[in-house]
């Protein structure tokens, strides 16, 4: 039908998009987790005594045994351990980043958080490294995962 097409835009097509906006409810557990970050710059989790598991971020149910654990809050401190990490060199548009981003899964209690790591040369990041959060100033915190600017090597 078509010969030697080298650009997909050479054929008949329609461009379509959809503007959809959602409001995602953090829930009972998320509300308290983010309130602690906002007000006290610290992390809390919930604990299932039966499974001996502490969830960070917290849940009101244990996904292992399905028990309700909404009243089992525990302070899990601020520090975490780099469980795994990756240096991203491209952004979500596929463009090369001027400054690569170090992503990590930071183990906290039996759970943990996905976040960025900074204030360290990417080459020096290691699995097992102890890190702590760099929070935004209290006035800037809104109760969001972005209240944490990044994690950095623990002092």
Partner 1 sequence: MLEVAIIGVGWAGSKSCTPDLSFQEMVYEAAVKAYADANVNPQVDVDAFISADEDYWAGYSIFEEYVPDQLGAVLKPTWHITGDGLHALINAYMMIRSNLFEVVVVESHSKASDILSYAGIIQHATDPVYVKPLGGHPFYIAGLEMRRYLYETGVSEEQCAQVVVKNKRNAIFNPNAAYPAELTVEDVLNSPYVFSPLKALEVSSTAEGAIVMVLASGDVARRLTDVPIWVRGVGWAIDTPNLDGRDWGRAVYVEVAADMAYKMAGITNPRRQIHVAEVDDKFSYKELQHVEALRLCTRGEAGELLEAGSFYVNGELPVNPSGGCLGVGNLLEACGLSRALEVVLQLRGQAQGRQVEDAKVGVAQTWRGIPTTSGAVVVLSTEG
What are the residues binding partner 1 (CB under 8 A)?
1-2, 5, 7-8, 10-11, 15-16, 18, 22, 24, 26, 30, 55-57, 63, 83-94, 101, 103-105, 111-116, 127, 144-146
User: Residues 6 or more apart from 154 whose CB is under 8 A from it?
Assistant: 79, 130, 131, 132
User: Binds 93, which of partner 1, Zn ion, none (CB < 5 to 8 A, cut-off by type)?
Assistant: partner 1
User: Binds 92, which of partner 1, Zn ion, none (CB < 5 to 8 A, cut-off by type)?
Assistant: partner 1
Torsion angle, CA of 108/132/155/122, rounded to 10 degrees?
110
Strand pairing partners for 102?
87, 117
Interacting residue ranges for Zn ion, rule: CB under 5 A: 48, 50-51, 62, 64-65
């Amino acid at each position: 039908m078509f010969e030697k097409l080298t650009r997909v835009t050479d054929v008949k097509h329609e461009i379509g998009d959809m503007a959809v906006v959602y409001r995602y409810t953090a829930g009972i557990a998320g509300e308290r987790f983010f309130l602690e970050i906002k007000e006290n710059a610290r992390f809390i989790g919930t604990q299932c005594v039966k499974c001996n598991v502490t969830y960070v971020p917290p849940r009101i149910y244990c996904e292992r045994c399905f028990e309700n654990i909404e009243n089992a809050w525990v302070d899990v401190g601020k520090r975490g351990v780099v469980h795994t990490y990756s240096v991203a060199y491209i952004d979500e548009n596929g463009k090369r980043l001027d400054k690569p981003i170090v992503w990590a899964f930071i183990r906290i209690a039996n759970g943990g958080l996905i976040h960025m790591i900074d204030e360290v040369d990417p080459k020096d990041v290691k699995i097992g490294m102890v890190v702590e959060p760099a929070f935004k100033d209290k006035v800037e915190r809104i109760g969001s995962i972005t209240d944490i600017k990044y994690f950095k090597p623990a002092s």
